Amino acid sequence: MTAELRIPAVFMRDGTSKGVFFLASDLPADEVARDRILLRTIGSPDPFCKHTDGMGGGTSSTSKVVIVSRSSRPGCDLDYLFGQVAIDAPVVDWSGNCGNLTAAVGPFAISAGLFAAPADGNAPERIWQANHRPGAHARWQSPRERHVPARRRGLSSCQGKDGIHRSRRPGRRRRDLPDRP
């Protein structure tokens, strides 16, 4: 019987992308062992391309992994490594980037305790994108010194000021959604 391996992870969405976020310190330093864990987490390879046995969604926009750590580089707050996981092959492609998930790195870092959001709620961060070596700058609002989930803070990629996409037929009203202004 194989021993169960427990590794903390967070499943996050930003924009149209979803990914599993990890702290670098929670994963093996050996890249082969690390990638094997990430493939298993997503459920790849899956011959049926559904990721039934993992957290991936069977599409390229939902089969992503993110590894985050504090940065030791001057002028950077966080290091960010993005991996696109193949659906039907045992491959993690580390050559790309995902702008949507880059925007989720800061909120993840706050939730993971890598740093505290400023008291004024304005959280600018300098992120080192290890895939491409440039830095990225991210800024988001995080009132009361904590991360506010996307469903309450609103996303620019979603309709509605509160980040809730409203799709109603004329004449039908959903009582579980707040009214539009």
Identify whether 5 is part of a domain: no
Are 101 and 114 in a shared domain?
A: yes
Are 57 and 133 in a shared domain?
A: yes
**Cα separation of 27 and 5, whole Å?**
11
Q: Where are the alpha helices (DSSP H) in the chain?
A: 31-42, 99-111, 150-153
What digits encode the pLDDT tens for the residues 100-148?
898 888 889 888 988 877 777 666 678 888 887 666 656 555 544 444 4
| Residue 173 structural domain | 149-181
Identify whether 36 is part of a domain: yes
Are 105 and 93 in a shared domain?
A: yes
Q: Which amino acid is at 119?
A: A
What digits encode the pLDDT tens for the residues 32-91?
999 999 999 999 998 888 888 888 888 888 899 999 999 888 888 888 899 999 999 999
% pLDDT > 70, the chain: 69
% pLDDT > 90, the chain: 31
The pLDDT value recorded for residue 70 is 92
In eight-state DSSP terms, residue 160 is: S
Are 163 and 136 in a shared domain?
A: no
Residue range 15-29: average pLDDT?
Answer: 94
Are 84 and 137 in a shared domain?
A: yes
Of residues 63, 79, 58, the one with CA closest to residue 133: 79
Are 160 and 73 in a shared domain?
A: no
Identify whether 82 is part of a domain: yes
Are 141 and 161 in a shared domain?
A: no
Residue range 145-164: average pLDDT?
Answer: 41
Its pTM stands at 0.74
Cα-flanking dihedrals φ and ψ of residue 117, to 5°?
A: -70, 145
**Per-chain mean pLDDT for the chain:** 76
Band of the pLDDT at 155, cuts 50, 70, 90?
very low
The pLDDT value recorded for residue 133 is 67
Number of domains forming the structure of the chain? 2
CATH code, 59: 3.10.310.10
Are 114 and 170 in a shared domain?
A: no
